[in-house]
């Protein structure tokens, strides 16, 4: 039987997009910035979301933009540019709740300080996946309710902004879990 995999969702994974020195320098810079509680966190999670951010160098922004350009070529959407970025800091016992970035086209995260317990969960956008009579010993890409990626330092993850993501109510077990998030929108024609 031929099976057609309809409506796949692409997630880009780029390892070592920044160097170890850039990672540690960014952590020190971020620690000196002000941030506030953000509604996507339960517990002690802070963010610089909705503030003016200028802590990324032009070189790092260009590398992220190059990765976005490569991603949208495969994804098949219009060219995108980074519209805004911010950092998130989670402490032990906090939770990053599931959410989307409805005001953007492509979103992503650059991980600066994570350990081997850290994962990013993506939820199946098909609302009927949750009611399918599934064989619990035989989950497939057609029946997963969610999928997770183990994240690591210096790794960039890129995904469509409509894709629900978060920690799947998994409680963060480390202090100073730091990630930089971003959103894109269509590049204007100059």
72-104 tens-digit pLDDT? 999 999 999 999 999 999 999 999 999 999 889
pLDDT computed for residue 82 by the predictor: 96
172 domain-assigned: yes
- Between strands 45-47 and 165-166, the pairing is unpaired
Nearest Cα residue to 188 out of 79, 76, 66: 79
83 domain-assigned: yes
**What domain range includes position 89?**
12-186
Number of domains making up the chain: 1
Q: For all residues of the chain together, what is the average pLDDT?
A: 93
> Could you tell me the CATH number of the domain that includes residue 148?
2.60.120.620
131 domain-assigned: yes
pTM of the model: 0.93
4 domain-assigned: no
Asked whether residue 189 carries a pLDDT value surpassing 70, the answer given is no
107 domain-assigned: yes
Asked whether residue 159 carries a pLDDT value surpassing 90, the answer given is yes
Q: What is the mean pLDDT of residues 52-65?
A: 96
- In angstroms, the CA 87 to CA 106 distance is 17
DSSP lists the bridge partners of residue 95 as 42
């Amino acid at each position: 039987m031929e099976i057609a995999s309809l409506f796949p969702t692409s997630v880009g994974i780029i390892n070592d997009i920044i160097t170890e020195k850039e990672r540690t320098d960014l952590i020190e810079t971020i620690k000196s910035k002000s941030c506030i509680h953000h509604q996507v966190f339960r517990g002690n999670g802070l963010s610089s979301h909705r503030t003016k951010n200028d802590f990324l160098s032009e070189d790092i922004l260009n590398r992220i933009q190059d990765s976005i350009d490569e991603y949208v070529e495969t994804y098949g959407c219009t060219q995108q540019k980074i519209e805004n970025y911010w950092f998130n800091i989670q402490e032990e016992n906090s939770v990053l709740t599931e959410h989307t970035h409805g005001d953007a086209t492509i979103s992503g995260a650059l991980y600066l300080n994570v350990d081997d317990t850290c994962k990013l969960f993506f939820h199946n956008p098909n609302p009927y996946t949750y009611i399918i009579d599934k064989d619990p010993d035989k989950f497939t890409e057609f029946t997963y309710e969610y999928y997770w990626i183990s994240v690591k330092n210096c790794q960039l993850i890129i995904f469509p902004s409509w894709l629900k993501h978060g920690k799947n109510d998994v409680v963060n077990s480390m202090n100073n879990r730091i990630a930089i998030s971003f959103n894109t929108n269509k590049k204007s024609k100059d």
